[in-house]
């Protein structure tokens, strides 16, 4: 039998179950979103059958005439969306995009300076368990204890002391905007390159609702599946190409342009054949993100995050930095006498999905944590508005304040399942 004649019920029943889980609950994981049926269709298309090592027009395989056009559309739309002059749309994920940048810019043992993981940074910015921390010398800056905000004077001091070749900004759990101009000035002062990883707020940046990283950072990476609402994946961008200052030369001894180094950093540096079905899905998602509808979506994501933050604050919850500029917030539960682990495990019983998260200067382990991270990108896609955010916080508060009362958790779950029926996601 072939895959087309026999339905694999073992797997497809589970996919149906996961769809039901996504549709019946409240999804607040800040890094997740719901793609459109068109994005999903492209991701599940026959392009998955095609090998296309290389770049459009310069492939190592025959039969790439069609996928060349698809990939070029993805590149052109990403350029338009972010005001980039060069884009590589092939990274399979955000982690791959960052690794390709490291390979293009650095030699093993070089110093990098990133935002501390325990303050909201990402594993790929120098964590000891990631290649970025194993093959390079990682150093970190963080937020201030009193404000929960990055102090750029301290970043500058750290940069002057550590002399990194690559200064990295961007985060997984930082609710404030970034001062890219100041970071570039710091990078220039010490002769470093500035990498902005905008994986989380990319969708808001694309619509001009946050500072523009491409105006200042040498290189910008992003995932495509968070606020950008595309398929899972990564891209690398630059507004201005330049000669790599660290003297990585061609075999003929010429200095190479950064764009060429980055292309090589992706393939053959860290990946093999590009996923052209996923690149097609990226192209569709970028097309959607270019629309006026997506501007309205991005505005609503921010408005919902503000409403949610205010609702938490009014119930006595502590938000790191006191609020949010983007789609997410980090909540310190210590003042409520709860851990992140307990909150995550209890909220899921009421079909509210969040993730536990370390807070800056946390005294608990990463498996327990003192905080939770919540974001509004996914529920905004479902059509929820500000007043709904307040209702979600009412539910969260009720669950957390009654975490050992199974009857209350069951009632909240039933109410949420009923409520979510009004916001259908996908046709079954």
State the catalytic residues. Answer: 51, 53, 197, 223, 226, 232
Does residue 175 belong to the site contacting ligand PLP (CB under 6 A)?
Answer: no
333 marked ligand binding residue: no
Please say which residue, 31 or 139, places its beta carbon nearer to ligand PLP: 31
User: In the window 5-24, what residues touch ligand PLP (CB under 6 A)?
Assistant: none
63 marked ligand binding residue: no
Q: How buried is residue 368: exposed, middle or buried, by Cβ count under 10 Å (0-12/13-18/19+)?
A: middle
Per the CB < 8 A criterion, the answer to whether 223 and 202 are in contact is: yes
- The Cα–Cα gap between 53 and 60 comes to 6
Does residue 99 belong to the site contacting ligand PLP (CB under 6 A)?
Answer: no
Residue 316 gets the label, from left (phi > 0), alpha (psi -120 to 50) or beta, of left
Does residue 227 belong to the site contacting ligand PLP (CB under 6 A)?
Answer: no
Does residue 327 belong to the site contacting ligand PLP (CB under 6 A)?
Answer: no
CA distances from 119 to 52, 129, 144, 174, 332 (A): 39, 16, 10, 8, 12
User: In the window 113-132, what residues touch ligand PLP (CB under 6 A)?
Assistant: 122, 124
To ligand PLP, the closest distance from the beta carbon of 97 in angstroms equals 7
161: nearest Cα among 183, 184, 190: 190
Please say which residue, 25 or 121, places its beta carbon nearer to ligand PLP: 121
Does residue 362 belong to the site contacting ligand PLP (CB under 6 A)?
Answer: no
φ, ψ of residue 88 to 5 degrees: the values are -115, 120
123 marked ligand binding residue: yes
Mutual angle of helices 406-420 and 9-24, in 10-degree steps:
100
Does residue 223 belong to the site contacting ligand PLP (CB under 6 A)?
Answer: yes
CA 166, 169, 175: angle at the middle one, nearest 5? 170
Does residue 94 belong to the site contacting ligand PLP (CB under 6 A)?
Answer: yes
Please say which residue, 26 or 95, places its beta carbon nearer to ligand PLP: 95
- The Cα–Cα gap between 426 and 366 comes to 35
122 marked ligand binding residue: yes
Please say which residue, 171 or 209, places its beta carbon nearer to ligand PLP: 171
Does residue 93 belong to the site contacting ligand PLP (CB under 6 A)?
Answer: yes
Residues forming the site for ligand PLP (CB under 6 A): 31, 93-95, 122, 124, 170-172, 197, 199-200, 223, 234
């Amino acid at each position: 039998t072939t895959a087309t004649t026999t339905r694999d019920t073992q797997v497809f029943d589970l996919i149906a179950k996961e769809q039901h889980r996504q549709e019946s609950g409240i999804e607040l994981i800040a890094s997740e979103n719901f793609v459109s049926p068109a994005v999903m269709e492209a991701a599940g298309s026959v392009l998955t059958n095609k090998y296309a090592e290389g770049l459009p027009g310069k492939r190592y395989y025959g039969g790439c005439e069609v996928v060349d056009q698809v990939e070029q559309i993805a590149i052109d739309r990403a350029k338009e969306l972010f005001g980039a002059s060069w884009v590589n749309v092939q990274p399979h994920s955000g982690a791959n995009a960052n690794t390709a940048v490291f390979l293009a810019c650095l030699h093993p043992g070089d110093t990098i300076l990133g935002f501390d993981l325990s303050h909201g940074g990402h594993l790929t910015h120098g964590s000891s368990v990631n290649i970025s921390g194993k093959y390079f010398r990682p150093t970190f800056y963080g937020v201030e204890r009193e404000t929960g905000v990055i102090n750029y004077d301290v970043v500058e001091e750290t940069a002057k002391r550590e002399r990194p070749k690559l200064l990295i900004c961007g985060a997984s759990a930082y609710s404030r905007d970034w001062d890219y101009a100041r970071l570039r000035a710091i990078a220039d002062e010490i002769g470093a390159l500035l990498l902005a990883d905008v994986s989380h707020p990319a969708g808001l940046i694309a619509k001009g609702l946050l500072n523009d990283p491409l105006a200042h950072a040498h290189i910008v990476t992003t995932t495509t599946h968070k606020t950008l609402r595309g398929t899972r994946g990564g891209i690398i961008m630059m507004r201005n190409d330049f000669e790599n200052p660290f003297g990585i030369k061609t075999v003929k001894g010429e200095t190479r342009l950064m764009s060429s180094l980055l292309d090589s950093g992706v393939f053959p540096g860290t990946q093999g054949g590009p996923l052209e079905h996923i690149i097609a899905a990226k192209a569709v998602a970028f097309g959607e993100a270019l629309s006026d509808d997506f501007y309205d979506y991005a505005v609503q994501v921010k408005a919902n995050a503000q409403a949610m933050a205010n609702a938490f604050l009014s119930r006595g919850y502590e938000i790191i930095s006191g609020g949010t500029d983007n789609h997410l917030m980090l909540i310190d539960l210590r003042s409520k006498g709860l851990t992140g682990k307990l909150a995550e495990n209890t909220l899921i019983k009421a079909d509210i999905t969040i993730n536990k998260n370390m807070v800056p200067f946390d005294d608990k382990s990463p498996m327990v944590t003192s905080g939770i991270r919540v974001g509004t990108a996914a529920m905004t896609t479902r059509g929820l508005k500000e007043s709904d955010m307040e209702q979600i916080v009412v539910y969260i508060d009720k669950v957390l304040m009654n975490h050992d009362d199974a009857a209350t958790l069951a009632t909240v779950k039933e109410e949420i399942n009923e409520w979510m029926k009004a916001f259908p996601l996908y046709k079954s």
